[in-house]
Amino acid sequence: MDQIYCLPINSSAAQVNQKFAEIGCRLVSDFETEFEHVYAYQVRDQLNEFEYSHSKDNSIHYLSFRAEFEQSLLNDILGRVELLTDDDLGQLTQSKKAAHRLLAIELMAVKFEEKYYPLLNVLKDDSEQKVANAAKKLITTVVGSKSDWLSTYHSMIHPHDRRQFIRWLIYDYANTSDKNSFDLSTTEEILKLGLQDQDWEVRVSTIIAVARMNLIALFSLVEKVDLNISAGTLPNKKDRELINGVKRVALMILTKTQPQNVDINNIKHQRWLSLYEAVKSENINVSCYITQLVYYFSTPANLLSEEHVQPFCEGIVLKDDKFYLSNSDIELVWIPVGEYFVNHLNEEDNYIKVLQEGFFISRFPLMADESNLLTASIEGIRSFLKDLSQSNESIEIRLPNYTEWQVASRSMDVRNYPWGWGIEDDWTVRASEFGLGLFWPEIGELICEENDYFLVDKFGFKVVDYEQIQREKVEKLESSFRIVINKK
């Protein structure tokens, strides 16, 4: 559980919880006011005491209980930070420490009001690049002129950017205290485009946005949206039914139609009611897969994390907008700090929400050719990592752990398997010109598509292999492997 905060998602502001998990840590060393400084030590001591008393219990029940315990602490932190005045924020923006100024931006993102614009306008020219970048992002995404939203959306070529834009609209609207001040006319124009988008995920997120904003004027457009996703795109039939159900319950919400004759003992009725409640509200149950799915389609990725702004450390080379391990041709991708769904080994249906620190992982699997694949010994891999480490002493180079592999492979969605939505998806990874599954393809010649982090061949090194290494001290891997890189 090192460097991971388990967070339940039965809160209406999961993004806020993430930010304040970070804030809770920073208060110990950075936020130098007596009240918060002392309180941060209390939080840390309570967490340490809790860990000590439950250190031998690694069950899913323990993780769930720990999540509830930390949630109560985070809510307490949130309540105390709400006591901060505008003068306190102003002082933070003028602090000599970049961490303080970045913290001020995060607080403004949570407590946003138009009056903070002058402070952000100063910080966008901050001498510390990560502070300036964070301020610019907040100005563009939250504060900037609403009339620019439409042109911004038009300029987004990659569907991932359009998905995030719609989800930020949902988040902004939910966290606007005065709904009358929200520019619904411009928002409607954007959502009209979203309902007709070629990307099915954009269409799903847009339908949820229309339902939560109660935009009756878009009812007829929602009716016409095609959500008949093909089995090739979404292999699981139940998932396809759920996606279609999102549209049906959205139309019910727009017409203020309540679910009728619901039998709580009927599984189908339970699923239908869960879907209705999830589309209607951002509050979801961590143990319910249906609401996890809706959460993904309606929640934006983390925006202002310090590591998200500028992921860079000694030993990493940036070339042509790509990251490489220095003194090698190993291409890396950055997995940002954020909230992710993970499940326990052999526990497919039990998911928890974790806050994972950012890290680098190799974009392609290493030693993926046929001969090396069958003879890759653990000792050989350790020797390989040792050689890499000797030329890069400032960073840690190792195999990924179970959580890191899930986070990198699943990316920001809740796909059923690291390599896709269905178990059959790995067939395409193993397919080759010689026949299905007979040979592994060469690196970079893969049929499976990249995920949101541009990670290729998610089948590659299996987490099970890593877990077996730890438990059974096996001598050989049956597949290729990846490396993870952290700051020491």
| HEC per residue, 64-89 | HHHHHHHHHHHHHHHHHHCCCCHHHH
With 0-12 CB in 10 A as exposed, 13-18 as middle and 19+ as buried, what is 325?
Answer: buried
Mean pLDDT of 186-191: 89
Instruction: Give CA 340 to chain center in angstroms.
Output: 5
Of 90-94, 169-173, 190-194, where does the model show the most confidence?
190-194
Residue 14 predicted with pLDDT over 60: no
Residue 70 predicted with pLDDT over 90: no
Closest CA to 433 of 422, 421, 420, 442: 442
Let me know how many helices (H) and strands (E) the chain has, helices first: 21, 9
Question: Which pLDDT score, from 0 to 100, does residue 88 have?
Answer: 73
* pLDDT tens figures, 91-117: 778 888 777 787 777 677 655 566 677
**Integer angstrom CA distances of residue 289 from 263, 285, 349, 463:** 20, 8, 8, 22
Residue 220 predicted with pLDDT over 80: yes
d(CA 43, CA 27): 10
Residue 256 predicted with pLDDT over 60: yes
Report which of residues 400 and 14 the model is more confident about. 400
- Total Cβ atoms within 10 A of residue 65: 15
Closest CA to 244 of 229, 260, 222, 224: 229
Residue written as token pair 């990560």: 130
Q: SS3 of 352, please?
A: strand
* pLDDT tens figures, 24-54: 444 333 333 433 433 444 444 554 554 445 4
With 0-12 CB in 10 A as exposed, 13-18 as middle and 19+ as buried, what is 328?
Answer: middle
d(CA 240, CA 141): 32
Residue 342 predicted with pLDDT over 90: no
Please name the helix (run of DSSP H) or strand (run of DSSP E) that holds residue 340, with its range, or none.
Answer: strand 338-343
Question: Which pLDDT score, from 0 to 100, does residue 132 have?
Answer: 85
Question: Which pLDDT score, from 0 to 100, does residue 311 have?
Answer: 52
Of 20-34, 267-281, 426-440, where does the model show the most confidence?
267-281
Confidence of residue 204 (pLDDT cuts 50, 70, 90): very high
Which of 86-95, 176-185, 305-314, 454-463 is least confident?
305-314
Task: Return mean pLDDT, the chain.
Answer: 66
Q: Return the structure tokens found at 7.
A: 């967070």
Question: Which pLDDT score, from 0 to 100, does residue 444 have?
Answer: 43
C-beta separation of 105 from 119 below 8 A: no
Residue written as token pair 């195999």: 399
C-beta separation of 440 from 373 below 8 A: yes
Q: Return the structure tokens found at 180.
A: 């009358």
- Residue spans of the domains in the chain: they are 4-143, 148-298, 311-487
DSSP state of 22: H
**Integer angstrom CA distances of residue 318 from 253, 326, 452:** 48, 9, 19
Percentage helix, strand, coil, to 5, in the chain?
50, 10, 40
Q: Return the structure tokens found at 224.
A: 């016409």
Instruction: Give CA 466 to chain center in angstroms.
Output: 23
- Total Cβ atoms within 10 A of residue 388: 20
d(CA 65, CA 223): 42
Mean pLDDT of 423-440: 41
Give the CA-trace dihedral at 326, 327, 329, 332, to 10 degrees.
Answer: -20
Which of 218-227, 321-330, 475-484 is least confident?
475-484
* pLDDT tens figures, 299-323: 776 433 333 334 556 678 877 767 8
d(CA 471, CA 453): 30
C-beta separation of 112 from 16 below 8 A: no
- Total Cβ atoms within 10 A of residue 184: 17
Closest CA to 2 of 396, 424, 413: 396
Question: Which pLDDT score, from 0 to 100, does residue 23 have?
Answer: 45
- Total Cβ atoms within 10 A of residue 71: 17
Helix axes 289-298, 237-254, angle to 10 degrees: 70
d(CA 392, CA 403): 24
